[in-house]
Amino acid sequence: MRRVAIAASQTARFTKTSEKSIFELACEPCIDIVKSVRDIDAVLLSTCSTEQYSSTIVSEMLGIKPKISHRIDNLCNSGTNAIASAYSMIVAGLCDSALVIGAEKSDSKGNRLVWDITRGSFNFPVHWAAMFAKAHMGRFGTTEQQMAAVSVKNRKNAAKNPNALFRKPVSLEEVMSSRRIADPIKLLDCSLACDGASAVLLLSEERAKKVENPVWINGIGQQTNSASFAGAAENLSALETASRAAHDVYRMAGVRPSDIDVAEVHDAFTILEIMAYEDLGFAKKGEGGKYAEKNEIAVNPRGGILGCGHPIGATGVSQVSEIACQLAGTAGKRQVKDCRTGLVHNLAAAGSSATVMVLGVQK
C-alpha cells in the first residue's frame, strides 16, 4: 500500500480574536507552503464555521485549482478527521498531494453544545470536564494539584512557542488559586477558544522521496461512541473512544506506548490530559495523576491546547503540525531531542469521538 508523508507544516499565530475573516485566517499558514510546492491536488478545510463553499473559496484565494476540495467538520476533532481523509485519498490514488487546513474564529458556533439536549442548560464544555474530574478524583485519588501540574507544564512549553496564545508561564499556586468555574475546574484548568489556523501538506510516497525530512503517517485510529454526553461517558473516568482509537493505531503502526517519544494530547481541560495518559497506555489505569507529576515523555511540547488556545477546527491540524515539526527536527526552541515516533490524540465533545495518529521518521 502506498505510504503518505507530511512534507510541510505551518501554524499561524493564535490570537484571542482578530479582524480577519475565516477565509483570511485559513490562508495565513498556507502562503509559504503553496509557494514551495507545485500541483496541490486536494484542499480540505477543517472548520466549524458556518460559511458555505469555504474550502473552495480558500483554494481560489490561494490561487490553487485542486481536483478535490471540500470542508470537513466534526467539532474539536475536525482537524484530524480532515487529515485522515487526505491520507485516504492519497493511498487510494485519487490524488498525490493534499493541503489540509484547519481554521476557526473565536466565536465559532462549535464552542457551545446546544444540540445536545441531554446536557440540559449545561451546554458549556466545562460542565462535563467537572464531572470527569470529580469521578477521577473520587475513584483514583487524583488531586487538584496533579491537574494543576498539567497546566503549569503546558504553559511553560507554550512560552517557547511564538504562535501560542499564552506566552506567560503560570505557577502551581496561580493555577490553584485561579477562579473556580465549575468545581473542581478552575480558570487555569481550562483552554480558551480563539482565532487560529494551521496547515499541513501531505504527499504520496513517490512525491515525498524528493522532500527533506518527510514525516510518515504510520497509523490512524478513530472511534465515535455518541454525540451526546449521556451516551459518551459510560465510565466518567476514562474515554473508551480514545482507548479504542489508540488500540487500533498501535496495531496499524506496529508500535507500543513505550515507543512514543513525543505526543500532542487533547488537553482542552487539564483532566483530559491525565485521562489521555491512561487511555493511551502511557500510565496505568488510575495513575494518570501521578504520571502528570513525573513527565516521562514529552507531552504537548507546543503548549497543548491549554497553552496555544483552542480554535476548534484548527486544533487537530495544529497538533499534527507540531508533531511533524518535532519529528522533522524543525521545532526550534521547543525541539524534543532524539524523537523518532510521535503521537497525536484529538477529541471532540466530551470525548464522544476520538482520533489517534502515529507519525514517524526513519533515522
The values of phi and psi at residue 21, to 5°, are -75, 165
- List the beta strands (DSSP E) in 126-268: 180-182, 185-186, 196-204, 215-224, 262-264
End-to-end CA distance of the chain: 22
Residue closer to its own copies by CB (options 65, 168) is 65
Could you give the 3-state DSSP secondary structure of residue 283? Answer: coil
Under 8 Å between Cβ of 320 and 80: yes
Residue closer to its own copies by CB (options 75, 131) is 75
What is the rounded CA–CA span in Å between residue 281 and residue 158? 25
Among 17, 36, 53, 284, binds its own copies (CB under 8 A): 53
The neighbour count for residue 180, using CB atoms within 10 Å, is 12
Stretch that binds its own copies, among 174-182, 219-227, 254-262, 277-285 (CB under 8 A): 219-227
What is the rounded CA–CA span in Å between residue 313 and residue 233? 23
| Count of residues that bind its own copies according to CB under 8 A | 55
By CB under 8 A, is residue 214 in contact with its own copies? no
Residue closer to its own copies by CB (options 93, 120) is 93
> For 335, left (φ over 0), alpha (ψ -120 to 50), or beta?
beta
293-297 CB contacts, 8 Å cutoff, 24+ apart: 293/146, 293/149, 295/153, 297/260, 297/261, 297/262, 297/263
What's the grid cell of residue 231? Answer: 451516551
- Smallest distance from its own copies to CB 29, Å: 19
Question: x/- site string to its own copies, residues 57 to 96, per CB under 8 A?
Answer: x-xx----xxxxxxxxxxx--x--xx-xx-xxx-xxxx--
- Smallest distance from its own copies to CB 73, Å: 5
Residue closer to its own copies by CB (options 64, 133) is 64
Under 8 Å between Cβ of 246 and 279: yes
- Smallest distance from its own copies to CB 1, Å: 7
Among 133, 220, 242, 361, binds its own copies (CB under 8 A): 220
Alpha-carbon Rg for the chain, nearest whole angstrom, is 19
Stretch that binds its own copies, among 202-210, 266-274, 277-285, 347-355 (CB under 8 A): 347-355
Among 283, 349, 358, 359, binds its own copies (CB under 8 A): 349
Compute the Cα dihedral for 14, 20, 22, 26 and give only its sign: negative
Stretch that binds its own copies, among 45-53, 178-186, 253-261, 299-307 (CB under 8 A): 45-53
Stretch that binds its own copies, among 44-52, 158-166, 188-196, 295-303 (CB under 8 A): 44-52
Among 16, 109, 180, 284, binds its own copies (CB under 8 A): 109
Binding-site ranges for its own copies (CB under 8 A): 1, 43, 48, 50-53, 55-57, 59-60, 65-75, 78, 81-82, 84-85, 87-89, 91-94, 109-110, 113, 115, 220-228, 231, 245, 248, 348-349, 352-353
